[in-house]
Amino acid sequence: MCGIVGYIGKKTAQDVLLNGLKRLEYRGYDSAGIATLDDEEQPHIARSVGKIAELEKVVAKEPQTGHLGIGHTRWATHGGVTEANAHPHHVGNIWMVHNGIIENYKELKAELKDVEFKSDTDTEVLAAFIDKNFAKGTSLKDAVAKAVKKVRGTYGIAVFSPLEPGKIVVARLGSPLIIGVGKDETIIASDASALLGYTREAVYLNDGELAVCSDDNVDVYNLNLKHLSTNTETIEGDLAQIQKGGYDHFLLKEIMEQATTLHNTLSGRIDPKNGTMHLGGPNLTTKEMKDLRHIVIVGCGTAYYAGLLASYYMEQLIPDITTEVVIASEYRYRSFHLPEHTVALIVSQSGETADTLACLREIKKRGAKTLGVVNVVGSTIAREVDGGTYVHAGPEISVASTKAFTAQVVAMLMFAGMIAEVHGGNKSLISQFTQELAILPKEIEKTLNEHHDTMKKLAKKYAKYDDALYLGRDTAYPIALEGALKLKEVSYLHAEGYASGELKHGPIALVDDTFFEVFDILDNWLFEKSIGGLHEVRARGGHALVLTDAVDKEIDADDVVRINTPIKQLVPILLNTLQQLLAYYVAVERGNDVDQPRNLAKSVTVE
Ligand code: M6R
């Protein structure tokens, strides 16, 4: 979604801003802009619809020479995708960028009868309020504090004014802002990836705080303007992680690097010799683990599907605990009841998803312990949970989530393994899972390498269809859902995931020879039942692609891709990597913007 960059220092601000905005491109956006203040304290602004490359063309015509500025990538919420609606917005003596949504902007606008608005955005209304306060002779800091106090909704803002040169004032509520502290320079960003290569030291602004930034200082205040002490934290990651590393797209890079990232997820957390798993972060006492009776897993999209798959494993490993998996956007408004001894796992790659964050806060209100299963270090969810685990998948740049899914499932599985141990669970099952986890990175690597060319070839064939069904049973069901989501996100093909057993309850009505079906079939006690569904689809002219670990069983389908692996329980994770390749190559075949699919944003920070 929207991204913010700000800079004050010795470098030409325009270059740092454009570079930072490019780093934020992956979040999804439809227009962009920068505003700078030159050394004669004259402001300059450039905005454009479309990609940063378009903005660069505009800037190239009139380069901006100043050393202070703010930049923004906009994902339209209020008002269409136009240059006038793009940020930064300028009202009176205020230049401002904003992430989030001002829910009461209409009310606020009604109070500003004398302002001639140039855009349809909620942002311009807030800028006008700041300007109004500022015009009364207060400092920029006081003007911002006074204005944001009136806001209902969410904001991350960066503001400058030629009347107070040399400073940028930032504030946040529900929308992340990180202030990178460099040598004689300060870089502001809504996402740590924009800071990499400039500095590793950063101040993470909390909700309800504002900061006055200059090239050599950061002063943080609460909204009552009480000065707060600040801690700098170290940003993780390096530049190589946010570059394509020789791949055509981040999506392919992230699919192919899963073996490596999974090593990081597992590192120090499994003990194959003793057949045990352990996570350090949950901060649960042995008594809390023993008492645990109910686990609720919360997430959106792929994170939800990761939770769903993990819940099947939890039911096996800790049968005395009830596991519930919920979609965050629904759960946050339900009158849900949490029994005593509940722990909530809050699953999010970005750690910023608005609905997931809202659930976390609702669950906390009800007194249950919250544990994060989060990838982005220092993200809002990671900061607000009671404990949890980082999944250590590294920066995921492509909008479609791949390696984070694998890491999330594995992290939750290790959590279940640890609890199972305390609950006196089935030792040989815990050990089997541990042994499988130990070899999973190698098996993922083997699967991806062995079947890469086949999936590419199959993608060429199936890219011609407009509709697809993904079907799976038991632990293959969540990955059928995930496979369909991945395909629709990047290829724009219509794809639906179903439990195979549901086929006859409706979806089979769709099947004819214009459809193709992906069957995720596990070589287990449910094999024959899964094959039944395949026959029914074939009998109706459907075109079936089977992904399976059954190496020697007869399967009558258009195409069959067989994985030969000693792994049994975790086969769905392997099959899913094939689905990821299929989605990727279908999208490439159809000429889509693979890493930034239309209409999507990497982290959905608004409802
Ligand atoms: O950052 P999160 O894990 O909280 O994001 C949740 C979903 O928005 C995300 O998984 C989305 O479904 C992806 N685009 C899937 O590829």
The predicted pLDDT at position 407 comes to: 98
Under the banding of pLDDT at 50, 70 and 90, the label for residue 241 is: confident
Domain layout of the chain by residue ranges: 3-235, 250-589
What pLDDT is stored for residue 25 in this prediction?
86
Looking at residue 45, its pLDDT comes to 97
Let me know if 359 is a catalytic residue.
no
CA of 374 to the centre of ligand 1 (A): 12
Q: What is the mean pLDDT of the chain?
A: 94
Q: Is 415 exposed, middle or buried (0-12, 13-18, 19+ CB in 10 A)?
A: buried
Who contacts 439 (Cβ-Cβ below 8 Å, separation ≥6)? 566, 567
Q: Is the pLDDT of residue 606 over 90?
A: no
Verify whether residue 300 is a known catalytic residue. Answer: no
Of 191, 326, 349, the one to substitute when testing ligand 1's pocket (max ligand atoms within 8 A of C-beta) is: 349
pLDDT confidence of residue 115 = 92
Overall average pLDDT of the 225-235 stretch: 92
Is residue 165 pLDDT above 90, yes or no?
A: yes
Lowest-confidence range among 152-156, 256-260, 490-494, 587-591? 152-156
Among 577, 524, 525, 542, residue whose Cα is nearest residue 533: 542
* Residue 515 main-chain phi, psi, to 5 deg: -100, 150
pLDDT confidence bin for 260, thresholds 50/70/90: very high
Q: Which of 27, 297, 302 to mutate to test the pocket of ligand 1 (most atoms within 8 A of CB)?
A: 302
List the single range of 341-355, 473-487, 591-605 with lowest mean pLDDT: 591-605
Cα(345)–Cα(299) distance, rounded to whole angstroms?
9
Amino acid letter for position 63: P
Q: Determine the distance separating the centroid of ligand 1 and the alpha carbon of 198, expressed in angstroms.
A: 28
| pLDDT of 198 over the 80 cut | yes
Do 563 and 549 contact (CB within 8 A), yes or no?
A: yes
Q: Which atom of ligand 1 lies at the shortest distance from residue 350's CA?
A: 1
Label the pairing between strands 294-299 and 342-348: parallel
Atom 9 of ligand 1 has which residue's CA nearest to it? 301
Q: Which has more confidence, 235 or 456?
A: 456
Structure-model confidence comparison of residues 190 and 601, the more confident one: 190
pLDDT band at 91 (very low <50, low <70, confident <90, very high): very high
Ligand 1 neighbours, Cβ below 6 Å, are 300-303, 348-350, 353, 356, 399-401, 489, 600, 603-604
Q: What is the pLDDT of residue 235?
A: 86
pLDDT tens for 371-400 read 999 999 888 999 999 999 999 999 999 999
Query: Is residue 240 over pLDDT 80?
Result: no
Instruction: Report the separation in Å between the CA atom of 603 and the middle of ligand 1, taken as the mean of its atom positions.
Output: 7
**Yes or no: is domain 250-589 CATH 3.90.1150.10?**
no
* % of the chain exceeding 70 in pLDDT: 100
Predicted confidence at residue 280, as pLDDT, reads 84
Report the distance separating Cα 504 and Cα 509, nearest Å.
Answer: 8
Q: Which two tokens stand for residue 109?
A: 């606008």
pLDDT tens for residues 511-550? 988 999 999 999 999 999 889 889 999 989 899 999 999 9
> What is residue 42's predicted lDDT score, i.e. its pLDDT?
96
Nearest Cα to Cα of residue 163 among 131, 116, 189:
131
Is the pLDDT at 1 greater than 80? The verdict is: no
Tens-digit pLDDT profile for residues 520-529: 999 999 999 8
Q: Which atom of ligand 1 is nearest to the CA of 376?
A: 1
Closest atom of ligand 1 to CA, residue 602: 14
Largest Cα separation within the chain, whole Å, is 81
Q: Which residue's CA is the nearest one to ligand 1's atom 4?
A: 348
Is the CB of residue 115 less than 8 Å from the CB of residue 151?
Answer: no
Pick the CATH number of 3-235 from 3.10.20.30, 3.60.20.10, 3.30.460.20, 3.40.50.450: 3.60.20.10
Atom of ligand 1 nearest to the CA of 400: 16
Distance 546 CA to ligand 1 centre (A): 26
* Nearest atom (ligand 1) to Cα of 349: 3
Average pLDDT over residues 76-87: 89
Confidence of residue 237 (pLDDT cuts 50, 70, 90): confident
Mean pLDDT of 60-85: 92
Give the residue whose CA is nearest to atom 14 of ligand 1.
400
Note the pLDDT tens digit of each residue in 290-301. 999 999 999 999
Ligand 1 pocket: which of 298, 353, 486 to mutate (most atoms <8 Å of CB)? 353
The CA distance from 363 to 386, in Å, is 11
For position 434, what pLDDT does the model report? 98
SS3 for 292?
coil
Q: What share of the chain is helix, strand, coil (3-state, %, to 5)?
A: 40, 25, 40
